[in-house]
Amino acid sequence: MTTQIKHQIGLLIYPGMTQLDITGPHQVFSLMPDTRVLLLWKTLEPVTSSEGMTILPTATFKDCPPLDVLCVPGGSIGQVEMMQDMEVLEFLKQQGKTAKYITSVCTGSLILAAAGLLQGYRAACHWAFRNQLEMLGVEVGCERVVVDRDRITGGGVTAGIDFGLVLAGKLCGEETAKMIQLLLEYNPAPPFNAGSPETAGEILVDRVQKFGEKLILTLLETTKQTALRLGLCR
pLDDT tens per residue, range 158-213 = 999 999 999 999 999 999 999 999 999 999 999 999 999 999 999 999 999 999 99
Average pLDDT of span 102-121: 98
Residue 59 pairs in a beta bridge with 40
How far apart CA 80 and CA 83 sit, in angstroms, is 5
Report the chain's C-alpha Rg in angstroms.
17
pLDDT at 234 over 60: no
Class of residue 176 by CB neighbours under 10 A (exposed 0-12, middle 13-18, buried 19+): middle
Average pLDDT of span 99-108: 98
pLDDT at 149 over 80: yes
How far apart CA 28 and CA 38 sit, in angstroms, is 14
Residue 77: band (very low, low, confident or very high) from pLDDT cuts 50, 70, 90: confident
Three-class HEC string of 80-133: HHHCCCHHHHHHHHHHHCCCCEEEEECCHHHHHHHCCCCCCCEECCCHHHHHHH
pLDDT at 1 over 80: no
Average pLDDT of span 16-39: 98
Residue 76: band (very low, low, confident or very high) from pLDDT cuts 50, 70, 90: confident
Which residue type is seen at 13?
A: I
Which residue type is seen at 16?
A: G
Residue 233: band (very low, low, confident or very high) from pLDDT cuts 50, 70, 90: confident
pLDDT for the residue numbered 194: 96
Say if CB 116 and CB 230 are below 8 A apart: yes
- What SS3 state is found at 207? helix
Which helix (H) or strand (E) is 41 found in, with range? strand 35-41
The per-residue pLDDT of the chain, averaged, comes to 96
Domain spans of the chain? 7-229
pLDDT at 3 over 80: no
151-154 and 101-105 beta bridge pairing: parallel
Say if CB 65 and CB 131 are below 8 A apart: no
Residue 2: band (very low, low, confident or very high) from pLDDT cuts 50, 70, 90: low
Positive or negative torsion for Cα 178, 184, 185, 187: negative
Which CATH superfamily includes the segment(s) 7-229? Class I glutamine amidotransferase (GATase) domain (3.40.50.880)
47-48 and 35-41 beta bridge pairing: unpaired
Q: What percent of the chain has pLDDT over 70?
A: 99
Say if CB 222 and CB 84 are below 8 A apart: yes
What distances in angstroms separate CA 114 from CA 83, 107, 214, one per listed residue? 6, 11, 20
pLDDT at 74 over 80: yes
Average pLDDT of span 45-61: 98
Class of residue 217 by CB neighbours under 10 A (exposed 0-12, middle 13-18, buried 19+): exposed
Active site residues: 106
